[in-house]
Amino acid sequence: MAATSPNDLASFYSSAWGYHFLSYHVFKQFTKQDGKSKETLTNDVQGLLSLYEASHMRVRDEEILEEALTFTTTHLKSIHNDSLKVEVTEALSQPIRMTSPRVGARKYISIYENNDAHNYLLLKFAKLDFNMLQKLHQSDLTRWWKDLDYANKYPYARDRLVECYFWILGVYFEPTYSRARKKMTEIIQMASFFDDTFDAYATFDELVAFNNAIQR
């Protein structure tokens, strides 16, 4: 595979890594003989940022990407490019690999919107996609949660619906998995309910009977 910049290669690595193992040696062209990253990489801030993001895809003993992470982190912290400052700061705070996909998308939409070179139509479709999926996520929860009347029936228990649902969004955010999101949220919320029942509601004798019933 031929790549002309860290930006091109990092983007390819990040996208391909999830489907099959891709050797980190493809980044060797950006290192010197002593294994250190080439200083010339600092001339391409966008490429440096992409290399930083790709380095978070590394696994154990990938020395080139370990070095790339250290190198890019050090230099990105000293970036004063106003047009990329917000994006760099966000990346250093929370790399894409460590961000929930939809949260990352929301943050990037705002960053991209402030880029003078943004594509208006692309930005419009990105916002439309985000809002439509957000509406679906909201509809996943509304009816069954209201029917449970949870807050009135179990006032001692924490209402952790949004928190539990957010966990599942890290696994299933696509529209197709609406049923999976609802079922997994129900399970986690129920586990939280049991936890609060043990911690803040029932007596010891009641909990013994309750635990026996669950075990059966």
Out of 63, 98, 133, pick the residue that ends a domain: 98
pLDDT, tens digit (0-9, with 9 covering 90-100), for 89-115: 999 999 988 888 888 899 889 988 988
Residue 128 has pLDDT above 90, yes or no: yes
- What average pLDDT score do residues 111-131 get? 92
| More confident: 126 or 171 | 126
Per-residue pLDDT, 2: 47
Residue 208 has pLDDT above 90, yes or no: yes
Q: Are residues 39 and 79 in the same domain?
A: yes
Per-residue pLDDT, 143: 74
Is 115 domain-assigned?
Answer: no
What domain range includes position 197? 122-215
Instruction: Specify whether the CB–CB gap between 188 and 204 falls below 8 A.
Output: no
Instruction: Specify whether the CB–CB gap between 101 and 173 falls below 8 A.
Output: yes
CATH number at residue 46: 1.50.10.130
Is 202 domain-assigned?
Answer: yes
pLDDT, tens digit (0-9, with 9 covering 90-100), for 18-71: 545 667 777 888 888 887 888 888 888 888 888 899 888 888 888 888 998 999
Q: What's the total number of domains in the chain?
A: 2
Long-range pairs of 192-196 with CB within 8 A, sequence gap ≥ 24 = 192/157, 192/158, 192/160, 192/164, 193/154, 193/157, 196/154, 196/156, 196/157, 196/158
